[in-house]
Amino acid sequence: MPRDATPADFAAILALNEAFVAVLSPLDGERLARLHAQAELHRVIEQDGRVAAFLLAFREGADYDSPNYRWFAQRQARFLYVDRIVVAGDAQARGAGSRLYRDVYARASRDGVPLITCEFDIEPPNPASARFHARLGFREVGRQQLDHGSKTVSLQALDVVAGNTPPGKIGAG
């Protein structure tokens, strides 16, 4: 089951980020420590004694310079932004990502936050992430080009209805 990340997990989190850095933004120890301090949710899933997945999410008002976070901050008063989610290659497609999203939905619902937001790459494409987020009920609310036009992301949002069970497949599995 997911639990809060601690500094003792940072090395494993950095390794997971590095393994999928092509579809994320780079992280080093200093930046991860800063993001950890700003995060509303920083969760990990341990499997067989190792960190097999992590998720970092921020509320509005965080001190975070990501262009995708800023895109939402300029348009939404209240949101919970999932900055990154990574499941180790050999642990994927077994529900870990969905379990991490259940925590996100529960936190947003508890705190009356109306929107969960995130993005994924569409150029070059990340079809596993596109499918994962569509299955959870996310919809596209915008697009932007990054890295001098070499990357295009789809900005995504999921409505939160307080007291409701999570939509899509978040509640399943």
Helix (H, G, I), strand (E, B) or coil at 7: helix
Q: How far apart are CA 75 and CA 173, in angstroms?
A: 33
Pairing outcome for strands 41-47 and 80-87 = unpaired
Which one of residues 31, 50, 70, 131 is an interface residue with ligand COA (CB under 6 A)? 131
User: Interface mask (CB under 6 A) for ligand COA, residues 76-95, using x and -?
Assistant: ---------xxx----xxxx
Smallest gap from Cβ 99 to ligand COA, in A, equals: 7
In Å, what is the CA distance from 108 to each residue of 23, 114, 165?
Answer: 25, 7, 12
Q: How far is CA 164 from the centre of its chain?
A: 21
> Which residues inside 20-49 make contact with ligand COA, applying CB under 6 A?
20, 23
Which one of residues 116, 126, 138, 160 is an interface residue with ligand COA (CB under 6 A)? 126
Residues at the site binding ligand COA, with contacts judged by CB under 6 A = 20, 23, 85-87, 92-98, 120, 126-129, 131-132, 135
